[in-house]
Amino acid sequence: MTSLRLPPLPTIKDLIKLYKLRALKQLSQNFLLDERITDKIVRAAGNINNHVVLEVGPGPGSITRSILKKNPSKLILVEKDPRFLPILQILQEACEGKVDINLHIGDIRSYDFNNGLKHAQSSDWYGVPPPIHLIGNLPFSVSTILLVEWLHSISEREAAWKFGRTSMTLTFQKEVAERMVAPPGHKQRCRLSVICQLWCEVQNKFLIPGRAFLPKPDVDVGVVTLKPLKYPLTNIPFKMAEKILRNIFNMRQKYSFKGASRLFPEEMRDELVSRMYFIADLDPQIRPFQITNDEYCRLFYAYKVISDDHPEILEYDSRAQKKKIEHSV
């Protein structure tokens, strides 16, 4: 595997001082300056030699440098904060003629993956994954929101997953990383655990101590890889699965049928929740965090069967009903 040797460059720390940059709290920014750790993050992504890499939130370019050393064919940098543009342009100029670096200043949530990756090699969903990777040290404030949006895209094979089973290597708060991989019965098992595991193979690779960041966050950070499954565990729509999980985990410590009953209007609640658990062949007194992924899939199927008979329940939202009652009082 060839390795790209970067020309002599000022250190990230020196560039931060030179451009008088500081991490903005309102953007949940934390700089990672330890090259050994950034190299380790990139190694966790696997082989990226001659592949296309999209880095989310490169900031001053610490992980970017570690990515470049692994010689990708193209590197797309999506950065929301324009203050980092001069530093990233230094890297772009240093790599001219060696790596095609595309700079995009804007929010990753509105980034057009179809256009940005249009020249990337795609692959059949059931074949080998495409030579495309998402890597990012995500801001804590948006990491879970972004992840759920991307899982939705994976379920519909859109955005970066229109090209095949694109892998992700991302950072999350330690507790969030633990929740993503939590098995049935684990104290961290939650809605996010199930929604990740339904569509991806998830691995919590290693922990980065908070002291490695500048400024030091109050928590340690987990590096997680997500590889889309060839065959997702369920074929029901993502939004339907999310709705069912949200209601059930809303009462995490109670019997699961308590939360599931909130999926149905009050006048038919008892009858339909009983039918749901009967079809799923599941004990209604099992608690949400004890239910396996396969058992959740049976609950999804049961809800779908009931919704075919009672289409009105698809639009039912117990939270909206509660607000409606509160406003009318």
- pLDDT at residue 233 greater than cutoff 60: yes
Q: How far apart are CA 146 and CA 172, in angstroms?
A: 11
Lowest mean pLDDT among 90-99, 145-154, 168-177, 228-237: 90-99
Q: Taking 70 as the threshold, does the pLDDT of residue 322 lie above it?
A: no
Cβ contact 168:44 at 8 Å: no
Which among 201, 165, 158 has a CA at the least distance from the CA of 293? 201
Q: What is the mean pLDDT of residues 315-319?
A: 88
Contact 217, 195 (CB under 8 A): no
Give the pTM: 0.92
Residues 37-61 have pLDDT tens digits of 999 999 999 999 999 999 999 989 9
Higher pLDDT, 283 or 219: 283
List of domains in the chain: 12-228 (3.40.50.150), 238-328 (1.10.8.100)
C-alpha to C-alpha distances, 317 to 106, 135, 139, 197, nearest whole angstrom? 34, 36, 31, 25
Give the residue-averaged pLDDT of 63-77.
96
Q: How many CB atoms lie within 10 A of CB 271?
A: 11
DSSP 250-293: TTTTS-HHHHHGGGS-GGGHHHHHHHHHHHHT--TTS-GGG--H
d(CA 73, CA 285): 53
Residue 111 amino acid letter: Y
Residue 164: which pLDDT band, with cuts at 50, 70 and 90?
Answer: very high
The stretch 209-229 carries a mean pLDDT of: 89
Distances (CA, A) of 134 to 4, 151, 169, 187: 20, 13, 6, 29
